[in-house]
Structures are given as structure tokens and as C-alpha cells.
Amino acid sequence: QGAEVVDSDRAFAIWKAGGTAFIDVLPRAPKPPNLPPGTIWRDKPRKNIPGSVWLPNVGYGALSPEMDRYFREGLAAATGGDAGKPVLFYCLRDCWMSWNAARRARLEYGYTRVIWYPDGTDGWEEFDNPEETSEPRP
């Protein structure tokens, strides 16, 4: 409610125009705690929309206080603390994490120009749009 829903053409136009914070909320698998000693763990690389901020795990239905703080701080950093700056949320196609994150930003955190891109990087890749390898925001 109160957010704009966009397709791949519109997401690309918004990205090309600049001025919108792009937030990738794809979850990141944690390192398993029971790996045998000496096992090398490599996180799966994430390619996302260039210039995006990756805030993994912030799209769950309920957030711990630590994740809530991480999400709020990440959004503030991405928007320069301006809750009126446009912010676009995505993940993978049909990933409800991005919907939850967009809803939370709009209804709980007071961001007024929220955009949801439900096709996420799946839709982005189908148009051969540029991508870059990303790391989560610490």
C-alpha cells in the first residue's frame, strides 16, 4: 500500500536516471556451525544491479532487534537519511523478502517513495542489463 510496483523496463529506466537507492534483500546463507575443521567455506557470489546496497536477511516477516537496527541503518546510509528519497527493493523473481522489506520501509520506517521490483535480478538478467558482484553491507 502506497508503494509503486515496477517491471523490468521501468526498473531499468529508474536505474539509468539515477537518484534512487537500490536495495537488494536476497538472504545470505550462514556458514554451517558444524563444518569439519579445516573445511574452506566460500559464500555464494551475488550479482546484483550496479550501485545497489545488499542488505541480506532484512525481508523476513519478523526481524530480531539486531536485524531491525541493521535494516534501519542500511536504509539511512543508502538514502543519506532522507526518508523521502526514492528507494527500490528487489531480490529474485517472486521472492517475498523484497515485498516484506518494501512494506516495512513504507509502513514502519516512514519512507514515502518506495518502489518494489518483483522480478528482481531474474528479470534484470533476462534483458541483459549490467550486473556487478556484490558483498553485503557490514
Which three three-digit cell numbers place residue 88? Answer: 527500490
Q: What is the pLDDT of residue 35?
A: 87
Per-residue confidence band for 53, with pLDDT thresholds at 50, 70 and 90 = very high
Per mean pLDDT, which range of 10-14, 28-32, 59-63, 82-86 is the poorest?
A: 28-32
Q: What is the pLDDT of residue 101?
A: 98
Compute the mean pLDDT over every residue in the chain, rounded to the nearest whole number. Answer: 95
3-state DSSP percent of the chain in helix, strand and coil, to 5:
35, 15, 50
Q: What is the mean pLDDT of residues 82-88?
A: 98
**Residue 88 pLDDT > 90, yes or no?**
yes
**Residue 74 pLDDT > 90, yes or no?**
yes
**Residue 65 pLDDT > 90, yes or no?**
yes
Per-residue confidence band for 19, with pLDDT thresholds at 50, 70 and 90 = very high
Q: What is the pLDDT of residue 33?
A: 87
Q: What is the mean pLDDT of residues 107-113?
A: 98
Residue among 96, 97, 98 nearest 22 (CA):
98
Q: How far apart are CA 64 and CA 44, in angstroms?
A: 24
